[in-house]
């Protein structure tokens, strides 16, 4: 199993993140992340597992985190420049800067 990180066109070289987005009106958090995964990287969600919620006061936001098992071929949308696939061990040791993650669930 691999974990997907992507880099936005506007970000500096070497800065990658997990797939994220915003909840649209009328969506559940689960449906919103499945939609974002399809829109951003062209993958269809098979299962969605809630990981937790984390305050992000610097942006006045609440991060609701999920692990999404998905299938298909990666097709980056116009916002994304590149991606990388990491093993569970690589993800656990990956440096995200100010964003710190808990242990991967899967």
Q: Taking the complete model, does pTM exceed 0.75, yes or no? A: yes
Q: Residue 82 CB: number of other CB atoms within 10 A? A: 12
Q: What is the mean pLDDT of residues 64-86?
A: 97
> Is residue 64 predicted with pLDDT exceeding 50?
yes
Residue 48 burial (10 A CB sphere; 0-12, 13-18, 19+): middle
27 falls within a domain: yes
Q: What is the mean pLDDT of residues 7-33?
A: 93
Res. 99 pLDDT band, cuts 50 70 90: low
Q: How many domains does the chain have?
A: 1
> pLDDT tens digits, residue range 22-43?
999 999 999 999 999 999 999 9
Res. 98 pLDDT band, cuts 50 70 90: low
The pLDDT value given to residue 104:
46
CA 104 to chain centre: 12
Q: By residue range, what is the domain housing residue 44?
A: 3-92
25 falls within a domain: yes
The length of the chain is 106
The CATH number given to whatever domain includes residue 48 is: 3.90.79.10
How many degrees, rounded to 5, is the angle at CA 67 between CA 104 and CA 44? 140
């Amino acid at each position: 199993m691999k974990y997907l990180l992507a880099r936005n066109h506007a970000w500096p070289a070497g800065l990658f993140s997990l797939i994220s987005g915003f909840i649209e009106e009328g969506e559940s958090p689960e449906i919103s992340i499945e939609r974002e995964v399809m829109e951003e990287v062209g993958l269809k969600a098979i299962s969605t597992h809630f990981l937790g919620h984390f305050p992000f006061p610097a942006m006045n936001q609440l991060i609701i985190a999920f692990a999404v098992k998905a299938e298909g071929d990666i097709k980056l949308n116009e916002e994304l420049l590149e991606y990388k696939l990491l093993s569970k061990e690589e993800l656990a040791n990956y440096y995200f800067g100010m964003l710190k993650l808990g242990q991967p669930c899967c």
